[in-house]
Chain A
């Protein structure tokens, strides 16, 4: 339990504040509309459905304001930079931006449902009231027309209407249907199954949010939620509600006047919309900046390495960039972690064949002749992720699964450079590196790097700075036989490295125990780039092996995922 607080405390606090604001808005506006005297006559026709429609509307305003903010990656990058002097926990929250975006989206979906259902009741009741189905007071109220000295309450002005007709001819109704439809399409195409398999469908359909926000801003323009205005002399509802026939004839009951509520949604969303437009402009400007090729290398296992140069490009370890190739698709930007170190004069990315876009890119690059420039590329970034923090921890555990090792390639290279320059800024004393991979031939480009590091460390006598363990999870009988035969060779048969390859998955309990034993008083940062399932396992182990006592070992889990 205590470990939970250490690891999840701040996120829970943010969620608690968000939920509290939602509940507050809902309850406040519910009672505003359910008890407010200016809505007495409105409520007479509509009942509590009025409040049930307006309360989620307020929550929707708040959440539609919030939803654009977590996806402004340049803004978040800026915020991250300014938090450099703040605590580690603050910066970790910005990693959870996508989780928050989804949560807000769910809330929007839920509130839309409540809002729509309540308004269905409202429309039905207004329509019935207009046709004289309800009591005398309702009919009298609905008859009030929009002339020189009367104003209407019931937005349905014709007597032989069906609700569907009103739904599609009023501003609120039409915009409501259109934006709800857009929302449903966005949600169904954002389901995990679709998003992971066909990113393009998800990305293009998601742009329906433009229609969503456009409709949302105009949704209240019709001002159909009407409240009673003050008249001179005042209209006493308690006295006059039983005498609709006498309105305008006796002094206590002048004809009641109504006016629609001022549309407020635009006030909530205009700020974030402007911020988002700026975000897209920044991305566009970055796209226009020229990117030159230094080298194109085809690696085994359909991995492409691109070494690129861009003016004024500054990166930190483990950051990622978004890459766009107009020759393949104008609108698509795909994220890739950089595999080069900041000390180099170029930046490189390793791209694995994983779908339509990457396959096409690899095909195009294969056809580029030796030494020539490749197709025009746009690069947006760099954007920071958790890996930036690795040098802040005295002890770090780096875990990369398959191609997820890429941010760590950047880190290890950077270590190598820092060692060569004896950089005093290096706070890290010890690094444990775990690479899990299924097949042997994907090792090659990384094995070269490890070999060089191994040699360097031996030369400088820094053997135990970096401890790395390689796990081959896709072994079979032939592998085992091969290893048995070459058992007593000095270097590993698979990678040629001094440290032997392990087979199967790591036993995390043993690993964490070992790290804890070797570093009894440190704060250990655990970094993962790999599948969700592994992330959950590691998160649990971090919580399990952390001590609440700040003098003893504590494990902090950082996840990077796309």
Chain B
């Protein structure tokens, strides 16, 4: 599995964990379960994780596929610079976020999933991967060749006008043959 970028799978797993944490938290709060404060925390944590993980990173090799509408999230995440770029930070962040989720049954699944995502991010960080924003490419105009800036000053040499005019009397000489066929069904 030499070519795999673990961060891609970690990202999918973390996003899923964020959603599960969020759902568990909503259930805990809505049902007024015992320990609902942990559920309230899980709602906030779930939203945070989803926002952080939504923008996909640019792949080191190959084409990157964006998630729909991720551009604004990319800009926000990019603004944190090295904190979001580095996967060690993310791994430890996710590990820390997931711990309070373990105190309540509704959020324990989100906690475990996020823990797994944290481990995969750790593997990615050890392999030297980092988060790159996917930004729209600027169109680079190809530099125009030099000769186009200096058009010729004089017209090409031609025989005098009397010879150029078609001789109506002499049909043979005034006919014009195309060197290449100009019809397209050849």
Q: Interface on A for B, CB 8 Å cutoff?
A: 113, 116-117, 120-121, 123-124, 127-128, 162-164, 167, 177, 180-181, 184-185, 187-189, 191, 193-194, 197-198, 200-201, 355-356, 487-488
State whether B20 touches A184 (Cβ < 8 A). yes
If A167-B108, A198-B5 are given as contacts, then 18 extra A-B residue pairs at C-beta distance below 8 Å, sorted by A number, are A116-B109, A117-B27, A124-B33, A124-B105, A163-B105, A164-B102, A164-B104, A177-B109, A177-B112, A184-B16, A187-B16, A189-B12, A191-B12, A193-B65, A197-B5, A197-B59, A201-B9, A355-B3
CB closest chain-B residue, reference A133: B34
CB closest chain-A residue, reference B17: A184
**B36 vs chain A, min Cβ distance (A):** 10
**B71 vs chain A, min Cβ distance (A):** 18
**A125 vs chain B, min Cβ distance (A):** 9
The yes or no answer to B49 lying at the interface (CB within 8 A) is no
Q: Which of B34, B59, B109 contacts A180 (CB 8 A)?
A: B109
Contacts of B23 in A (CB 8 A): 113, 117
Q: List residues of B (60-102) whose CB comes within 8 Å of A's CBs.
A: 62, 65, 102
**Contacts A113-B23, A181-B112, A197-B8; is A356 near B3 (CB within 8 Å)?**
yes
The yes or no answer to B113 lying at the interface (CB within 8 A) is yes
CB closest chain-A residue, reference B14: A188
Interface size on B, residues (CB 8 A): 36
State whether A189 touches B4 (Cβ < 8 A). no
State whether B1 touches A198 (Cβ < 8 A). yes
Q: Which of A177, A198, A488 contacts B186 (CB 8 A)?
A: A488
* Main SS class of interface, A: helix
State the CA gap A233–B2 with chains docked (Å): 71
The yes or no answer to B48 lying at the interface (CB within 8 A) is no
State whether B1 touches A200 (Cβ < 8 A). yes
State whether A193 touches B31 (Cβ < 8 A). no
**B29 vs chain A, min Cβ distance (A):** 12
The yes or no answer to B106 lying at the interface (CB within 8 A) is yes
Could you list 5 A-B pairs, sorted by A, with CB under 8 Å? A116-B109, A164-B102, A188-B9, A197-B5, A356-B1
**Contacts A487-B180, A488-B181; is A164 near B103 (CB within 8 Å)?**
yes
**B132 vs chain A, min Cβ distance (A):** 15
Contacts of B124 in A (CB 8 A): none
**A440 vs chain B, min Cβ distance (A):** 22
**Contacts A120-B31, A121-B27; is A194 near B109 (CB within 8 Å)?**
no
State the CA gap A128–B35 with chains docked (Å): 12
**A91 vs chain B, min Cβ distance (A):** 33
Contacts of B116 in A (CB 8 A): 185
The yes or no answer to B13 lying at the interface (CB within 8 A) is yes
